[in-house]
Copies of this chain bind each other. A is one copy, B any other.
């Protein structure tokens, strides 16, 4: 059965029942249909966060199909609830780009899903759209100010770094020229679109603590310079009030349910390869306020999502996880050992042995943050016992606790052992997160530390544009911000073709974008694009809806 077919067999509970499990009165909910609701920010209780257990789920370097990090997060949540731990899963919102592209939605899979999956994967409660509109309103105000005769701030159109965004995989929008067609239609200039998940407004939404913080951060967005080289921020265009108004609902986390009827809070949707890759601080804190355990995820591999989770989000919000679960799969490790995508179903111990160096590096990386690590093997039906035993051996050798989870096929039942291990590790954990770097270091030192320590790079190369960007960042006084590196998820390096555990490679920083509102800078490495493209045969072609409005083809 496909994911949506499985989802359709489930009898959903009214969302008020799910809220009741968290002690929330129905009157506090803003319903979006019968099975989705927004939660008021007043449910956050800052005083209770430290008593609770935050479990981060991350992963080894994934195959293009993903390794089931979200699926394990959901299954583990079901498992923890099964063993009596009051647990909420806190996830990111899916982007339409992958839904219509190749990777599919982001609501788990099999018997470990959050529901209603078709709503969550399509427009959900409109948060992505609100981010997109707030972002593009600023863009329109910039070009309008450049065009204006009476209210001009003197913005030099050649210096404008603020692009537009669209929640779509649309490569043709990466590099465009706008403002053609004569004097009535703007000033021609080069610009482009990023995907909405990469929007600084999305990052701001995810890193804001409350409404006042949101508005101030929106005002701090850097957009370019005047002709006399003065920096211009969104507040100079009086844009942040209207942008915040567009986000007044989006700032509230969304409550849905898992297949087994446990609470799921889903909020914010930055990717981890091109953005900070984790749900909002508000959602995480709300989960911790309302239940004893929160399972959350950080996108793509540990090198991307988890590093940013620790060094940006946890530092900013004062969070420290009680356990960190690294998801590995037999098939991804074989892939890292050189097996092609279409042959991953066959047993191949030799490739597995070779590919396990990827796992080894990620486990080493985990230990650098002073957290309590676990490896979860996300079981696929084609995995053999011999393959699983090889991985168990490796984990014993690495001295990291490991458990197999069969969450796709069995839901929470398949995660009970993992849940027991996780609860034990979390409850015994006395570690306090140690960030990899100090925000006060120079940008170069921060980048070098991540690239050498986490990616395993030998050296860093800056293009001349990146060097200019560095100078600009220093002159703007923004060099004490953390770095949110954009890098391919397919490799530990910045070259998607280097699988396994690449060594002796150079990371190339192509440019450095400023996200002064979000509060970080974005060194862009290798050929990573902040606007993806569709594959030759996009999933969109197979998505359909019957005359009663039932959707098929979503996964």
- The interface of chain A, by Cβ under 8 A from chain B, is 30-34, 38, 96, 100, 118-119, 122-123, 125-126, 129-130, 133, 136-137, 139-141, 143-144, 147-151, 166-181, 184-187, 190, 192, 210-212, 215, 237-239, 241-242, 244-246, 248-249, 251, 529, 533-534, 536-538, 540-549, 551, 553-554
Q: Are A534 and B144 in contact (CB under 8 A)?
A: yes
Q: Knowing A137-B168, A215-B545, A242-B540 touch, does A177 contact B174 (C-beta < 8 A)?
A: no
Q: Which residues of B contact A129 (CB under 8 A)?
A: 123, 126, 129, 133
Q: Give the complex CA separation of A174 and B179 in angstroms.
A: 7
CB distance from A538 to the nearest CB of B (A): 7
CB distance from A551 to the nearest CB of B (A): 5
Q: Are B545 and A211 in contact (CB under 8 A)?
A: yes
Q: Which residues of B contact A147 (CB under 8 A)?
A: 171-172, 533
Q: Are A172 and B151 in contact (CB under 8 A)?
A: no
Q: Give the complex CA separation of A176 and B143 in angstroms.
A: 14
Q: Are A168 and B180 in contact (CB under 8 A)?
A: no
Q: Which residues of B contact A171 (CB under 8 A)?
A: 143-144, 147, 184-186
Identify 5 new A-B residue pairs, CB closer than 8 A, beyond the known A126-B126, A144-B536, A177-B177. A118-B245, A172-B185, A172-B187, A238-B540, A241-B541
> 11 A-B contacts, Cβ less than 8 Å apart?
A118-B245, A144-B170, A147-B171, A151-B536, A171-B184, A174-B181, A186-B533, A211-B546, A245-B543, A245-B545, A248-B551
Q: Which residues of B contact A548 (CB under 8 A)?
A: 211
Q: Which residues of B contact A538 (CB under 8 A)?
A: 141, 144
Q: Give the complex CA separation of A139 and B540 in angstroms.
A: 12
Q: Knowing A176-B180, A249-B123, A534-B144 touch, does A541 contact B238 (C-beta < 8 A)?
A: yes
Q: Knowing A123-B130, A551-B245 touch, does A136 contact B185 (C-beta < 8 A)?
A: no
Give this chain's copy count: 2
Instruction: Identify A144's interface contact among B130, B212, B248, B533, CB under 8 A.
Output: B533
Q: Knowing A122-B245, A140-B534, A141-B534 touch, does A540 contact B181 (C-beta < 8 A)?
A: no
Looking across the interface, which residue of chain B has its beta carbon closest to that of A543? B242
Q: Which residues of B contact A122 (CB under 8 A)?
A: 245-246, 248
Q: Are A545 and B178 in contact (CB under 8 A)?
A: no
Q: Which residues of B contact A537 (CB under 8 A)?
A: 150-151
Q: Which residues of B contact A540 (CB under 8 A)?
A: 137, 141, 238-239, 242
Q: Are A244 and B545 in contact (CB under 8 A)?
A: yes
Q: Are B241 and A210 in contact (CB under 8 A)?
A: no
Q: Are A543 and B241 in contact (CB under 8 A)?
A: yes
Specify which of A118, A536, A538, A548 lies most central, judged by the most chain B CB atoms within 10 Å of its CB: A538
Q: Give the complex CA separation of A126 and B125 in angstroms.
A: 8
Looking across the interface, which residue of chain B has its beta carbon closest to that of A130? B123
Q: Give the complex CA separation of A215 and B177 in angstroms.
A: 34
Q: Knowing A32-B32, A33-B31 touch, does A536 contact B150 (C-beta < 8 A)?
A: yes
Q: Give the complex CA separation of A31 and B27 in angstroms.
A: 13
CB distance from A457 to the nearest CB of B (A): 24
Q: Which residues of B contact A133 (CB under 8 A)?
A: 96, 123, 129, 167-168
Q: Are B33 and A245 in contact (CB under 8 A)?
A: no
CB distance from A81 to the nearest CB of B (A): 27
Q: Which residues of B contact A181 (CB under 8 A)?
A: 174-175, 192
Q: Give the complex CA separation of A181 and B175 in angstroms.
A: 6
CB distance from A456 to the nearest CB of B (A): 27
Looking across the interface, which residue of chain B has its beta carbon closest to that of A38? B33
Q: Are A547 and B212 in contact (CB under 8 A)?
A: yes
Q: Are B242 and A541 in contact (CB under 8 A)?
A: yes
Looking across the interface, which residue of chain B has its beta carbon closest to that of A534? B144
Q: Give the complex CA separation of A100 and B133 in angstroms.
A: 11
Q: Which residues of B contact A32 (CB under 8 A)?
A: 30-33
CB distance from A94 to the nearest CB of B (A): 13
Q: Which residues of B contact A125 (CB under 8 A)?
A: 126
Looking across the interface, which residue of chain B has its beta carbon closest to that of A535? B144
Q: Are B545 and A100 in contact (CB under 8 A)?
A: no
Q: Which residues of B contact A546 (CB under 8 A)?
A: 211
Q: Give the complex CA separation of A147 and B534 in angstroms.
A: 10
Looking across the interface, which residue of chain B has its beta carbon closest to that of A248? B549
Q: Give the complex CA separation of A412 and B542 in angstroms.
A: 51
Instruction: Identify A30's interface contact among B33, B118, B126, CB under 8 A.
Output: B33
Q: Give the complex CA separation of A139 and B170 in angstroms.
A: 8
Q: Which residues of B contact A534 (CB under 8 A)?
A: 140-141, 144
Q: Which residues of B contact A179 (CB under 8 A)?
A: 172, 175-176
Looking across the interface, which residue of chain B has its beta carbon closest to that of A186? B172
Q: Give the complex CA separation of A176 and B186 in angstroms.
A: 11
Looking across the interface, which residue of chain B has its beta carbon closest to that of A549? B248
Q: Give the complex CA separation of A167 and B33 in angstroms.
A: 24
Nearest 8 A/B pairs, CB to CB: A175-B181, A241-B544, A172-B186, A31-B31, A129-B129, A238-B541, A175-B180, A143-B172
Q: Which residues of B contact A184 (CB under 8 A)?
A: 171, 529, 533
Q: Which residues of B contact A144 (CB under 8 A)?
A: 170-171, 533-534, 536, 538
Q: Give the complex CA separation of A547 and B96 in angstroms.
A: 31
Q: Give the complex CA separation of A192 and B173 in angstroms.
A: 11
Q: Give the complex CA separation of A249 and B246 in angstroms.
A: 21
